[in-house]
Amino acid sequence: MGGGWGVANPPEAVMTELDRKQDRAPVPAAWDYAPAPEARDLVELRDRYGLFVGGDWLEPSDVYTTIDPSSEEALAEVGQASPKEVGLAVKAARGAFDNGWSAIAPSERAKYLFRIARILQERSREFAVLESLNGGKPIRESRDVDLPLAAAHFFYYAGWADKLEYAFPNRKPRPIGVAGQIVPWNFPLLMLAWKIAPALAAGNTVVLKPAETTPLSALLFADVLRQAELPPGVVNIVTGDGRTGAALVKHDDIDKIAFTGSTEVGKSIQRELAGTGKKLTLELGGKAANVIFDDAALDQAVEGIVNGIYFNQGHVCCAGSRLLVQESIYEPLIGKLKRRLETLRVGDPLDKNTDVGAINSRQQLEKITELVASGEEEGAEIYQPPCRLPEKGYWFAPTVFTNVAQSYRIAQEEIFGPVLSVLTFRTPDEAVEKANNTPYGLSAGVWTEKGSRILAMAQKLRAGVIWANTYNRFDPASPFGGYRESGFGREGGRHGLEPYLEFD
């Protein structure tokens, strides 16, 4: 068994009694699943993409190449938007806001968003392939999680567009104007949906900058807007690296910035906006504790742990990167976890059987490698299931560290990779103390069959999202966001509208 590309020395074939009776040759005892690739030609890539401004494609002054991180193959050239070009996008957004979008009947705004949702559903497979190609995540995840949720976000917020007075009774909600939105590379299209849907539902117009390494799904999204006949300038998409983002943040005519990304960059944005009066929401990093009590449904808890840290290669702000196990079940749980890791298939993101895909960039791979090395140096014990990783592309094997102390870097710093740090606790109070001992506060997990304990832990854990007997569950109706250095503001639910509205 072991990784998707087989183990170095497969176990010996076994001859059963029946085989002998039937005089058959022994069947190899390993069952290698044949490659099951999703059709890549579902997506038509252009050689070069411009910037989507005012409903049209603007030829960029500078370009860079975006790649497939599983093979380092170049996919396309995309624009590196300059401050001037960012300015044009903001101008288009402002024009669209002043000349119509905010004045269109809310029920008509809703219908545009419903159209976008339906088109995303129709083109779901095409987008899923592109997302895996450009980002490295397994097609099973982009197909079954990213795309359905992205469409659902548009569908959900479409319904609020003409019901704002019910969402905020007696507060007279009004749109704020032009929102600048910067999204990360871990869920490119989904994060775009989390940003654009509520902003548009509330009557705003938008300039969105996708992450440097994952621009393509946002650029394809522009085609969805064309099919939906969204008025030009309502959504503008400018690609580029951190400089483009900085230009957007600094721009005078932006009324609000929404940022999802690292805590470090989030802080610099907050500093930049100080004194400007611009509204800001931040969704930053995390170091979530996944707490397993001794009365948890063990096999399902193991699934939750695995889903918590290896889903999307651990490139998840709310990943359950710290496992807090009650000492009384430490041995059986860790045993089950390590055996479960052996069935994770690391490989080609476009293969339908892949569980763990590629690391998104060389940069991220270096960061993960450095932190993992620090873990070993500081004295933690490392475990990685056997898997053959390819030569090209960015890969990291699923990793578990045991014997981790609270003070180790791997227990404090966000790794943002498929690396789990395991610590123990004896009592619920100790679990709470350790779980809360972090400057972050995005999410936490609790596993126990006892209802009152779930509610007690939920009350005491300082995190914006608490998953009990499950992990990494998202829904457009469910507000998401962090405490403390994990950011402020909520996305999803009725509360997700608030950052995009002004009230009398």
Partner 1 sequence: MAKAPVLAGFELPLEPRLPRIGSVDAVAVEERAATLAKRSIKREAKLFALDLAVRMIDLTTLEGSDTPGKVSGLSSKAIRPDPADLTVPSVAAVCVYPNLVPTAVERTRGTSVKVASVATAFPSGQAPTPVKVAEVRDVVEMGADEVDMVIDRGAFLSGRYAKVYDEIVQVKEAAGDAHVKVILETGELGTYDNVRRASLLAIAGGADFIKTSTGKLPSSATLPVTLVMLEAIRDVYEETGRRVGMKAAGGIRQAKQAVQYLVQLHETLGPEWLTPDLYRLGASTLLNDVLMQIRKEKTGRYQSPDYFTVD
Partner 2 sequence: MSRLPVKKTYKLYIGGEFPRSESGRTFEAEGANVARGSRKDIRDAVRAARAAFPKWAALTAYNRGQVVYRIAEMLESRRSEFADLSTGVKEVDRSIDRLVWYAGWADKLPQILGSSNPVAGPYFNFTVPEPTGVVGILAPDEPPLAGLVSRVAPAIVGGNTTVVVASETHPLAAVELAEVLATSDVPGGVVNLLTGQRDELAPWLAGHMDVNALDLAGADGQSKELEELAAENVKRVVRGAADDQSPWEIASFLELKTVWHPIGV
Q: Which residues are catalytic?
A: 283, 317
Classify the C-alpha dihedral 264-265-268-273 as positive or negative. negative
Choose the one of partner 2, partner 1, none that binds residue 338, judging by a C-beta under 5 to 8 angstroms depending on kind.
none
Should residue 484 be labelled a site residue for partner 2 when binding is judged by CB under 8 A?
Answer: no
Write down the least CB distance from residue 300 to partner 1, Å: 4
Should residue 36 be labelled a site residue for partner 1 when binding is judged by CB under 8 A?
Answer: yes
Should residue 166 be labelled a site residue for partner 2 when binding is judged by CB under 8 A?
Answer: yes
Spatial contact of 346 and 385, defined as CB atoms under 8 Å apart: no
**Amino acid identity for residue 163 in this structure:** K
- Which of 270, 428, 462, 502 forms a contact with partner 2 (CB under 8 A)? 428
Choose the one of partner 1, partner 2, none that binds residue 232, judging by a C-beta under 5 to 8 angstroms depending on kind.
none
- Which of 9, 22, 407, 452 forms a contact with partner 1 (CB under 8 A)? 22
Should residue 494 be labelled a site residue for partner 2 when binding is judged by CB under 8 A?
Answer: yes
Between CA 177 and CA 386 the distance in angstroms is: 53
Should residue 159 be labelled a site residue for partner 2 when binding is judged by CB under 8 A?
Answer: yes
Write down the least CB distance from residue 120 to partner 2, Å: 13
* Cross-strand bridge partners of residue 301: none
| Positions in 426-485 near partner 1 (CB under 8 A) | 449, 469-470
Q: What backbone phi and psi angles, to 5 degrees, belong to 501?
A: -130, 155
205-209 and 178-182 as β-strands: parallel, antiparallel, unpaired? parallel
* Cross-strand bridge partners of residue 399: 419
Would you report the helix, strand and coil content of the chain in percent, each value rounded to 5? Answer: 40, 20, 40
Residue 17: both structure tokens together: 């009694």
**x/- track of binding to partner 1 for residues 336-375 (CB under 8 A):** -------x--------xx----------------------
DSSP H helices, 14-160, are: 17-21, 83-96, 106-122, 124-135, 139-141, 147-160
Write down the least CB distance from residue 29 to partner 1, Å: 5
| Positions in 134-193 near partner 1 (CB under 8 A) | 140, 144
Should residue 155 be labelled a site residue for partner 2 when binding is judged by CB under 8 A?
Answer: yes
Should residue 503 be labelled a site residue for partner 1 when binding is judged by CB under 8 A?
Answer: no
Q: Which stretch binds partner 2 (CB under 8 A): 105-113, 264-272, 342-350, 411-419?
A: 105-113
Q: Given the complex with partner 2, which of 160 and 187 has the nearer CB atom? A: 160
Between CA 420 and CA 255 the distance in angstroms is: 39
- For the chain, the first-to-last Cα distance in angstroms comes to 63
Should residue 11 be labelled a site residue for partner 1 when binding is judged by CB under 8 A?
Answer: yes
Between CA 56 and CA 50 the distance in angstroms is: 9
Write down the least CB distance from residue 469 to partner 1, Å: 5
In DSSP notation, 268-316 reads HHHHHHTTT--EEEEE-----EEEE-TTS-HHHHHHHHHHHHHGGGG--
Spatial contact of 240 and 100, defined as CB atoms under 8 Å apart: no
Choose the one of partner 1, partner 2, none that binds residue 100, judging by a C-beta under 5 to 8 angstroms depending on kind.
none
Contact residues: partner 2, CB under 8 A? 107, 110-111, 114, 152, 155-156, 158-163, 166-167, 428, 451-453, 455-456, 459, 476-477, 493-494
| Site for partner 1, rule CB under 8 A | 1, 11, 14, 16-18, 21-22, 24, 27, 29-36, 140, 144, 295, 297-300, 303-304, 332, 335, 343, 352-353, 449, 469-470
